[in-house]
């Protein structure tokens, strides 16, 4: 008897964005390879999202479940992990509520898992800016844990399909991180021995819109940079450490409320820059 093929559970974390959420769900329902289920997980009480999911589920060919966990703590890591725990598929596919997939996204990912025997599939991103598609980060194959410990080459919560066993082997997303959680997860997966493959179709669409994204500069994002540094510092090379500190001081300078603080962080940013970065930074400062 031929063993059954892999089944896919799609996990969508959401936070009070019903109009964007509908588009994300519709993109999953329009897949050429249908998932087994869709789990929409909200970290707050959200009547609009609940009603939307109920309406879609009543006429959908895929089981759609809406789950509210308002006590779980704000942030996508907790809601993604909760959805993964509640799911039944052998594969987990994550999609943020403000992004969407092209119709062959899952088909291409499943084909690569079947033919290459990889544990993870990362799909090239397409950025959507004011409804205009632009090429996004295009991760290459063969990256090592050392390569990805501080730099994200194009892994997000919307273009990753991973074996459930590999995901749970590393404990899922780090719930202490609201930012850099994608970099952290991919690094830990590779370090655990999981293998990845790349789909170059650009079928994962990341929206750049007027609403707040967790990737916007903020004190919370800076705090997560420090947490990430503390967590992985012992495994970083000196140049990795300099890269992280340069990024932190760049963000600190951007948010500084006084000229003195801004100047201090700009100097620190330059200190941790490479000669080329130093020259580029100086050229931008010239009138």
Which range, of 58-62, 77-81, 206-210, averages the lowest pLDDT?
206-210
The range of the structural domain enclosing residue 267 comes to 237-285
* Whole-number pLDDT of residue 233: 97
CA distance 220 to 208: 20
Confidence of residue 130 (pLDDT cuts 50, 70, 90): confident
Residues 145 and 199 in one domain: yes
* Whole-number pLDDT of residue 3: 53
Q: Is position 221 within any domain? A: no
pTM of the model: 0.91
Strands 8-14 and 91-94: parallel
> What is each CA distance from 189 to 11, 102, 163, in whole angstroms?
18, 25, 11
Residues 124 and 246 in one domain: no
- The owner of tokens 């952290």 is 184
* Whole-number pLDDT of residue 1: 41
Number of domains in the chain: 2
Residues 252 and 184 in one domain: no
* Whole-number pLDDT of residue 215: 46
Q: Tell which of 208, 228, 258 closes a domain.
A: 208
Largest CA distance in the chain: 73
Residues 76 and 202 in one domain: yes
Q: Is position 91 within any domain? A: yes
Residues 66 and 201 in one domain: yes
160's enclosing H/E stretch is strand 160-163
Q: Is position 92 within any domain? A: yes
* Averaged pLDDT of the chain: 91
Residues 241 and 197 in one domain: no
Residues 188 and 242 in one domain: no
* Whole-number pLDDT of residue 2: 43
Residues 187 and 241 in one domain: no
Over residues 2-42, the pLDDT tens digits come to: 456 789 999 999 999 999 999 999 999 999 999 999 999 99
DSSP 220: H
Contact 50, 67 (CB under 8 A): no
Q: Is position 219 within any domain? A: no
Q: Is position 227 within any domain? A: no
Strands 196-208 and 120-129: parallel
Confidence of residue 74 (pLDDT cuts 50, 70, 90): low
At 266, list the tokens: 């700009």
Q: Is position 68 within any domain? A: yes
Q: Calculate mean pLDDT across residues 203-231.
A: 80
Residues 152 and 255 in one domain: no
Q: Calculate mean pLDDT across residues 121-140.
A: 94
Check which CATH number belongs to the domain holding 81 and give it: 3.90.550.10
Contact 212, 131 (CB under 8 A): no
Beta-carbon neighbour count of residue 219 at 10 Å?
10
Residues 63 and 179 in one domain: yes
Residues 261 and 190 in one domain: no
Q: Is position 149 within any domain? A: yes
SS3 for 13?
strand
Q: Tell which of 188, 208, 228 closes a domain.
A: 208
Q: Tell which of 192, 208, 224 closes a domain.
A: 208
* Whole-number pLDDT of residue 209: 62
Q: Is position 222 within any domain? A: no
Residues 68 and 25 in one domain: yes
DSSP 178: S
């Amino acid at each position: 008897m031929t063993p059954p093929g892999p089944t896919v559970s799609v996990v969508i974390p959401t936070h009070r964005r019903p109009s964007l959420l509908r588009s994300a769900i519709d993109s999953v329902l329009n897949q050429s390879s249908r998932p087994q289920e869709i789990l929409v997980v909200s970290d707050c009480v959200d009547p609009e999202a609940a009603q939307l999911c109920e309406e879609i589920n009543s006429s959908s060919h895929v089981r759609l479940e809406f789950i509210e966990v308002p006590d779980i703590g704000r942030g996508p890591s907790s809601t993604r992990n909760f959805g993964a725990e509640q799911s039944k598929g052998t594969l987990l596919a994550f999609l943020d509520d403000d992004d969407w997939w092209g119709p062959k996204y899952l088909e291409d990912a499943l084909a690569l898992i079947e033919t290459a025997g990889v544990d993870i599939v990362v799909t090239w991103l397409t950025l959507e800016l004011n409804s205009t598609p632009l090429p996004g980060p295009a991760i290459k194959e063969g990256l090592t844990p050392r390569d990805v410990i501080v730099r994200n080459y194009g892994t997000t919560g919307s273009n990753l399909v991973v074996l459930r066993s590999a995901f749970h082997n590393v404990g899922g997303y780090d719930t202490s991180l609201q930012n850099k959680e994608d970099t952290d997860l991919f690094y830990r997966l590779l370090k655990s021995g999981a293998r990845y493959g790349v789909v170059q179709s650009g079928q994962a669409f990341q929206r750049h819109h007027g609403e707040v994204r967790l990737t916007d500069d903020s004190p919370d994002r800076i705090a997560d940079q420090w947490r990430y540094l503390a967590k992985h510092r012992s495994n970083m090379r000196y140049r990795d450490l300099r890269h992280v500190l340069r990024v932190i001081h760049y963000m600190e300078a951007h948010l500084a409320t006084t000229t003195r603080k801004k100047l201090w962080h700009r100097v620190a940013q330059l200190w941790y820059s490479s000669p080329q970065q130093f020259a580029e930074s100086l050229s931008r400062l010239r009138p």
